[in-house]
Structure 1
Amino acid sequence: MNEFSVLASGGEDVNPLVPEIYDIVWSVVCIAIIGVLFYKYVIPRLMKVLDERSEKIEGGIQRAEAAQEEAQLTLQQYQQQLADARLEAARIREDARTQGQQILAQMRAEAQAESDRIVAAGHTQLEAQRQQILTELRSEVGRTAVDLAEKVIGQSVSDEAKQAASIERFLSELDESNAGIGVGR
């Protein structure tokens, strides 16, 4: 015979899938002990770790939001400073352009004044040279006139006073004839 038949013939109908009462009681006691230990020690630590993580996450989010706000504020300040710097650069360029125009105008005025001074000095120098040449020419013409007069007359005109008067008279006649012809300065 078979073992199953012995067990089955011995008595009661026993279902092998249904545990015995003592197994259920000991299983419930073990599960209750494990549940109490789990509830008393594991769950508080787990909750503490989860709370810490959630605080870290929330703190991280708050720090990230604060950092983002600070970055936004810094970006706005940077953009404002950049706009101010651009305005300042434009003002400096305009000032430099204005100063450059003023310097050019001043240099032109100084160059014109220097040119006028040089032209005036040249006219003055030319007038002085003209006067000197006229004086030298008068004396040269006078000597030449005396030499010619001596040759024409055949005698010496040695008297200085007579010589000077003759030269002056000759030159004044020469000036009058030049003025009548239209030859001028």
Structure 2
Amino acid sequence: MATWISEVVGFLLILFVLWRYVVPRLRAAMNKQQETIREQLVAAEEAKQRLKEAQEAYDNAVTEARVDAAKIRDDARADAQAIEEEMRAQAEREVERIRQRGEEQLALQRQQLARELRTMVGQQAAELAAQMVRSHLDDDANRGKTVDRFLDELDAMSAQSGKGER
């Protein structure tokens, strides 16, 4: 029994040493570890909340980007339509200007051709008249009649001018 008591005393002594020196250090280490785990849980919750907020911000940004892209696309379509209409109007003005220019040139060419035709007809008429006069005067009888008629006309003119002076 003395062994047993000495074993119990040794056991109690070990328990006292453990309780006095080892347990407080273990508790301190455990408390520190628990505090670290608590901080990590809080940090994880905050990170989860920030992730949720970031996901919402991302979703909002994507939605805004889609709306902005649709607006930009619609604006671009409207601008393209306006540019197309402007180009069409400009082309129509250019076509009208070219058509007017063509009409003006056509009128000028028509006038020029009319002048040239008049000149040619006049020249041909003069040549034909000269030819007719030459052929008429080539005949001696016709030449005499023409000279007699000319002299009669001169006499008639001098007779009229003599009456007018009196």
TM-score, length-scaled by structure 1:
0.70
Any residues of structure 2 matched to 1:35-50 within 5 Å, and which? Answer: 35-50=15-30
**Structure 1: unaligned runs, 5 residues or longer:** 1-20, 157-185
Corresponding residue of 1:97: 77
Whether 2:34 is the aligned partner of 1:58: answer no
Q: Deviations for 1:111-165, whole angstroms, at most 9, x for unmatched residues? A: 0000000000110111011111101110111010111122223369xxxxxxxxx
Whether 2:3 is the aligned partner of 1:23: answer yes
Q: Larger % of helix: which?
A: 2
2:64 paired residue among 84, 89, 102 = 84
Any residues of structure 2 matched to 1:115-126 within 5 Å, and which? Answer: 115-126=95-106
Identity of matched residues, %: 35
**Structure 2: unaligned runs, 5 residues or longer:** 137-166
* Runs of 4+ with >2 A deviation: 152-156
Amino acid at match of 1:101: Q
Q: Which has the higher contact order (CA 8 A, sep 6+)?
A: 1
| Partner Cα separation in structure 1 for residue 50 and residue 59 of structure 2 | 14
Corresponding residue of 2:128: 148
Number of residue-to-residue matches in the alignment: 136
Q: Deviations for 1:79-108, whole angstroms, at most 9, x for unmatched residues? A: 111111111111111111100010000000
Amino acid at match of 1:115: V
Q: What is the CA RMSD across the aligned residues, in angstroms?
A: 1.4
TM-score, length-scaled by structure 2:
0.78
1:154 aligns to what SS in structure 2?
helix
2:52 paired residue among 62, 68, 72 = 72
